[in-house]
Structures are given as C-alpha cells and as structure tokens.
Structure 1
C-alpha cells in the first residue's frame, strides 16, 4: 500500500503525487499488487487506471487501518506522500502495521529536535544555534542567548507554516502569544537566523550507500521558503569545496539517521563557505519531479526499488554524485495572489506559491527567462520601476536600480528610497505614501505605466507598517509584477539586459 498526500493545499501540491504515481509503477513492475489510499480527485494517483486498487478514503488512522485489516498488505510505504503520510507512520506502527522504507525511529531522528541534534553532534555536523522552548519566558531567554535576529517556528510542520524572522523581544513575545500554541507537547523552535545562500539536495539512501543525483542552488537567500524560491540545477555559484562538504554531510546523514529511500536536506552556505544544516526531511520532497527531469534519474523509481530491497549497486548506481548536466534547469514558482484575498504578497519563510514551472537552456539567463515567462511573470523591458526599500537594503539595491535606469526605465520611489537614489545620481520621482496622507503611490500603480514594483521590508527594524501591505495588494490587483527579494530582482535584470539592445550616446 502506498499512502498518498491527500488534498492539495499551499505547501503540499501535486509534486508529492508524482512520487506516489512513480512508486506504483515500480511496485507493479516488481510483480506486486499496488494499492493507493488518497482522497484527492484532482491528481493522477486517483485516476482509476494508475494502481491495481484505489481507496478513496481520508488519510486518518482509523480509515487507513480499516483498509489494512481488509487487504493485509506485505508492507505500507509512508515516505512518498509528503508530510501527511509521514505523520501516519507512527500511529500505524503502534497498531502493528509493517512500514517499509524509512522507519519510525529514523523519522523521529530527523523530525524530533533533540534526537536530530544528537545525530548531528555525533557526526560533527554544524547547524545554526538554537533550541526548543515550551513557554514564552524560556523563548525570550533563549533568543537573548542566541542573539537576534532569530527564526521562530513550530516543530513538525510542512511549508514553513507560522515561521517568522524576529528581530527584537517585543515582536517575539507578540509572536509567541498570537501565532502559535505553545505547551509541553508543542514546542516552538528558536534558531539563529544566518544570512547566506540556500542549497538543497534530494538523495536516496539504501542503508549502505547514498546517491545524490543533483545539488540545487536557490536564488533567494535564506529567509524565503524553499518552495517559493527560484531553484537552479546545476548550482551556479558555489565552490567545489562546498559541493564536497555537502556530499559528505548528505552521506553521513542518510546513514546516521537510518533512511531507506528518499530524503531531502536543506543547507545554508555563509560568506566564508561554511556549510550549516537547516533540516532533513525523511521523505520525498517537492523538488523530486524537478530534479528527476533535470538530471535524467527518476528518483521516485530508484527509491521505490530501494524500499522493496534492491540496493543502489544492484540498480547500477555506483557513485554518490554523477556528472552535472551541461544544460541549465531553472524552477520558478507560480503564485495565485490575485485569487487569494487578503494574502500578503511578501515572500517569507511561510510558503505561498501554488505551482511551479521549469525553463531549461544551454545558457543560464535564457533558462531563467523561460522559467519566469512560464510561471506567469510579465517581462517588460520598458516602463517605470517603483521602488520602496527598507533602510538596510538601500546600499545593496542601488547598483540594481542603476541597471534599470541604464536599460531605459523611469524610476519612481517613496520618499526615503527616492532621496537615497537621488543622492547617488539616479533620477527619481518622489511618490508619497499612505502614512503621509497621500495616495500618490497607489495612483501610480493604478495608472498602468508601472512595470515592476520592488518592495523590501526590514528584518532588523521590526514588523513593517501597513504601507507595504497596501502597496503590494494594489500592485497585485493591477497586475504589476512585484518583487520582494533583491536576489530575484538581480535575476530579472540579467534576463532583461540579455533581451534588450542598449543605447548609448556617442
């Protein structure tokens, strides 16, 4: 029996269904009867031609147990249906069900904070400083010891739900009081926020060896959920030394945790090429379909064979890391902000995208162009760029805004940003904000001549005020491409410069 991933919601989309379907094909080829339990009509796995038997039942312990008692399967696979299926593994095992693949002990080692830290300590692998707290005062004390800014989140979640970067005590108290239930059973994790590149691998472990088909580098730095980031394979800016470290850690973690099948690891690489572990997911992740298509290795099929007892070597895989592809593959997220009322378009550690698109080409910028267009971003190389920046981003944004100016865009900005740009030689028109009692900014957006809105908010200066929310909302209602991360803007500029013929006076 393969457990599916249940109804599609933000954070758990059809990417998890891909693994389920491929697993079923492989199980059938191995000569077993394949049964799916999934309750989502909008997927391939619930198409009646996919599996030998389909049970359209809720993925709750009671319903799944009823099916298991009737079917008496040889084994149940829980690691291919995302977090929904993984959460069923423990209660099913307690009721005597045989879980094949990654077992409950390994799942606990990866997902339980204390067990995971012990594994990392024994392997000597660094992770950001942090701890789990069970009440508000402990949380405040822990954050003071670790040092702000900190990343706070409930444990055992998918899609970074209720995860936030907090930079001072009053915000932390506010978060712990309002955003999460905090008690003995539901600890909240408080971690040091490290600024750096985010890198991700999907890997397969068979108990003796580990296979990493590809390393993906995310365009947006840490602090944007990996499901909302643009992701590039092969990695474009990390050194071979870092790749070596990542592969070593991947192998140690796969074997150390006791994974059988697929797992996913997210890393941070800081400025000095130190590699830290963010987390290990003991299941198939949302990047499996992308990486399978980009590398040519069908991860879900290889992993299912491993779960059924066929080692990597028996499948003809002898190396940990195959040669990287000569072409570039870029995954870009697609958003539905226009359809989701009241959702803020700011990218944060909480996942908000509802789909993804892939672009590939021999040249990186062209692959990025294809991915952006495919994911629904309107790419225009003319018009006006509206800029409203947090103070700590101004220095970094300056060269980017100059590049827009050089392509031929007009620049408009809210008062702080516009004055900063003017001082540094960029002609900028000032637009007043709502908090100054003016509708100029919104009028600009509504007038239809703004091509891009670049809006960043401060991590260091606390919770942003309502201006940003109103401006982003207005941009989305008027179909203006909005960027809240300067890393994405950098990619956009690379693409625009590639497709624009520049003009200089002689």
Structure 2
C-alpha cells in the first residue's frame, strides 16, 4: 500500500495484484487498479498482458509481496517483464545456498556449519558431519513449515517418517541441515541499499534465543543488551551482504551471536515482516523509500528530501524510546486431530496469528505494554509454578528469586524445588501429572492449575516422561488462560516488567512520539520522560 501511494505521488500509475480479499490493501483507492487473482506466474502474466494495452509497463515490484511474489521474479523476467529493484539474478544469490555461501566467504563472514540432503541417509550423514543439535528446514516453504531442531539421529529418522508423503523434501527440494546455535542472541536488520549507500532502518534484538521463528519471537528496537562493537559489526556485515547480492531496495538480514562470534543466518532481498514495526516505532516510511529507490531515487536524494531522517552512524538516537514487538499466539484455538490443545512450545515453525507493539522510555515498561496488549499482562500477585529442564536450572534461579522478593509464592516439582532450596528460595513441592496413580486423591499440578490455585506457569521442555508431563502442564495453563513461559529469556523480561506494571502507565500516541522526536532533533524539546504508548 505504501509503495502504491509513494509511486502514485511520483507520477506513476500503480496496479496491484492481490490474492487475499481480506486485507486492507484491497481498498478501492489504494491503487489505480486492483486485481483479485492467484499469485501464480500464469495469472500475473495475464494481468500484465491485459494492462500492456493501456500504457508502457515501467516494471513490476516483487520485493514487497513476500516470498510468494519474490518466487515469481525469474519467470517474469524470462517472459520479458522488467523487474524493478533487486534483479532475479541477485535474488538467486541470496536464495541459493551455495551462491550465498560464496558471498559470505568473499566478505569474510561466517555462517553456521551446514549441509543439504534429499533423503534420510544423506540427512544423517550431514548431521553427523555438522554435529548435533541441528536445525532442519525444507527449501522453498513459507512460515518455517517443516522446520525443527533435532538433537539426535533417532529424532532425525522420525522427522523423515513424519514428513513422508508431504512432498516438501526431494531431489528438487533439498533439506537444509544447519548447526543449531544454542544460547545465541538473534538479531534482525532491515535496511535500504541503492547500489552505493546503505541506510539501516533498524537493528532489532530478539528476546528469545536463536532457533525460534522470527514471526513468533519478541524483539526490541533498539537492542537493549548489544554493545557498540557488536552493532558496528552487524552494520558492516549488512553492507557487505547488500553489496555482494546487488540489492536495490529493501534487505532483511538475520544474524546470531553465539560465544561472541557473529554468524549470518540468512538474507532476504525483500520486505520482511518487521518493516511495519520499524517504520511505526521510528517514524520512517521504509516501504515508500524502497519503492522510490526502485525507480531511480537514491538514499542521498531521499535524505535530502526529508523522507529519510539523517542518522548519526546509522544509530537510533540516544533519547529514542524503546519499542517491543510481541507475537500473538492464540494456542487455545489450535487443536490436534484428536481435539487436544496443541503444544505451546515455540520453535522454528511459525504459529503466530498477529503481533502487537509496546513503546516507552525503557525496556521493562515497553515489554510490559506488549504483554498487556497481547495477553492481558502479568498478575501482580499470587502463586508461580516452576518446573524446568535440567539445562535451565542454573538460569532459573535469579528470575525466581526476584519473583519471591516481589511477593509471589513459589510452587515447584521436586527436582526444581530442590535446586531452588539450595539457593535459599523456599518452594512448595507439588506432584507431577504422571504421579497421579499413586496419590490417592491428592492434587497434581494440573489439578491445581485447573482449580485456579496457580497464577503463573513456568515450564521449559524436557525429554522422556517429563516431556509428557510438560505438555499436560502447558495445555492446562492455556485452557485456564494463565500466563505461560517456556523460555527463560521471556520469563526474565516479564519479571523485569512487574514493577513497571505496578507503577502504572501513561499513554502517548505514535503520532505524538513522532512530533516529539522531530522537536528533539531540532533542539526544540525533549521526549517527555513520563509518557508512553501502547499499540
């Protein structure tokens, strides 16, 4: 929509093809003409044929229509249709693993160790060479479909058994096998490139660790734990990738920092799902700017016109508020074929149905608002149940201690309670769901959640019997509308936000923030310290 508005303002006639009549971009006045057609090569070429009689076709924009539109670029070019912005050959450099590896190698950048496979035997060989755990993902799928983190050979064989017959892995659609970076920070970058100058729209830090689909992750803008050196390394790497691919317009790059090393996860020469978030949080019309770059404008000219604000070293201004994007995951509505609530564990396959944004002067307040908007916020008192996998027992101690100091009572399964007690945190021991048979009527944790005797649930995934227990706990929490945390990073952010919630919020609209930012940039005023916004 923003591209259509910007190009129309620049004197072009704009024609939109949209396969989804439910979106707002189907408003009659968004473009000069609007077609409801499937986004297949045949249908798009028919529209182009019909429109060619009414004027000269300057070109087709594919990089603002997601992965489906991007996939049409090569076929359109073969049919003689000009592609505006990043060329199909440049798109291939980012999409094809071998070609992209060459770009990273030339730029001196690292990617997680990886391989490809077309069958289970090849996948096992690749995984053994890389080392478990590995992230497996089919080529050319949307929303992370079929992506999983695999911890051993047995699970990898089972993965192939489960996807058999779906047609998502084969000779023409290889399975991508990547080293999974444990405990790594994931970073998203949205940028503009005109062939000479890079303009960083925003650098976002994910709250959850790498391995969770970016559409399901919370993220913060600007980053709240990354140092200047790390941010500069991200900017330099983004520039090298933009130059290597030959981007003209928008570029999204996903990085991870693990053990102090910067890795490139992937690059997308198109608009990402975070572009609207960055644009709203910072008041920068990235899509409009990208569309003008595609028809000959430069970053320099857009800076001169005022469409893009000047940046000092491409940083968000020091006095800028913090914005947090949170995914909305209505698990209560998702059911298995047997009618059960699907497991709520976050992973590499996207399941969110929307997102919200909170903005304020600091991270705890902004995060608190994002949770309020998405899930109704944290209870300010009551009881907290804790049961975590062995690998999380060290990192759970400080968040639970903070909850105890904030006045919450703590319940835990026997193993977790033992660790908490050793660290001076008293916790009432409760029974697991799997222990029901020997309890003679005593309540299990699932019973307590169903009876509303638990207000917050913390559960990270384990294997074996504990995995089944974990599912029952998480399903009961979802059914009872209890706040549920399955990652320590998300829990820590939520705990930090409790005092902000107790203090209460004032609300400032995004438009007011934009006015304050403009006034601050001109030296006329500062951001109001006590004001905030919830979107």
The normalised TM-score by structure 2 is 0.86
The equivalent position to 2:195 in structure 1, one of 182, 186, 207, is 207
State the secondary structure of the residue aligned to 2:365: helix
Aligned to 2:383: 384
- Structure 1 position 457, deviation (Å): 1.0
**Residues 1:447 and 2:435 are matched in the alignment:** no
Q: Distance in 2 between matches of 1:159 and 1:253?
A: 23
State the secondary structure of the residue aligned to 1:153: strand
- Structure 1 position 282, deviation (Å): 1.2
- Structure 1 position 224, deviation (Å): 1.5
- Structure 1 position 405, deviation (Å): 1.5
- Structure 1 position 389, deviation (Å): 0.8
- Structure 1 position 213, deviation (Å): 2.1
**Using CA pairs below 8 Å that are at least 6 residues apart, which structure has the higher relative contact order?**
1
**Residues 1:415 and 2:414 are matched in the alignment:** yes
Aligned to 2:431: 432
Aligned to 2:256: 268
Aligned to 1:329: 323
- Structure 1 position 235, deviation (Å): 1.0
- Structure 1 position 464, deviation (Å): 6.6
C-alpha deviations, 1:387-416, integer Å up to 9, x for none? 121111111112211211221112122332
- Structure 1 position 281, deviation (Å): 0.9
CA gap of 1:171–1:91, structure 2 versus 1, over 3 A, is same
- Structure 1 position 442, deviation (Å): 1.3
- Structure 1 position 58, deviation (Å): 1.3
The equivalent position to 2:488 in structure 1, one of 479, 483, 486, is 486
C-alpha deviations, 1:236-271, integer Å up to 9, x for none? 111111111111111111111011111100111123
Aligned to 1:248: 236
Aligned to 2:474: 472
Q: Which runs of 5+ in 1 are unaligned?
A: 1-20, 502-506
Count of aligned residue pairs for this structure pair: 478
Contact 2:328–2:355 at 8 Å: present in 1 too? Answer: yes
Q: Distance in 1 between matches of 2:30 and 2:318?
A: 31
**Residues 1:394 and 2:393 are matched in the alignment:** yes
Aligned to 1:65: 45
- Structure 1 position 116, deviation (Å): 0.9
- Structure 1 position 325, deviation (Å): 5.2
The equivalent position to 2:161 in structure 1, one of 177, 180, 183, is 177
CA gap of 1:464–1:129, structure 2 versus 1, over 3 A, is farther
Aligned to 1:233: 221
Q: Distance in 1 between matches of 2:97 and 2:147?
A: 16
Alpha-carbon RMSD: 1.9
The equivalent position to 2:460 in structure 1, one of 456, 463, 468, is 456
Contact 2:434–2:469 at 8 Å: present in 1 too? Answer: yes
**Residues 1:191 and 2:189 are matched in the alignment:** no
Aligned to 1:161: 145
Q: Distance in 2 between matches of 1:417 and 1:289?
A: 41
Aligned to 2:117: 133
The normalised TM-score by structure 1 is 0.90
C-alpha deviations, 1:165-192, integer Å up to 9, x for none? 1111111111133236432111111111
Aligned to 1:38: 18
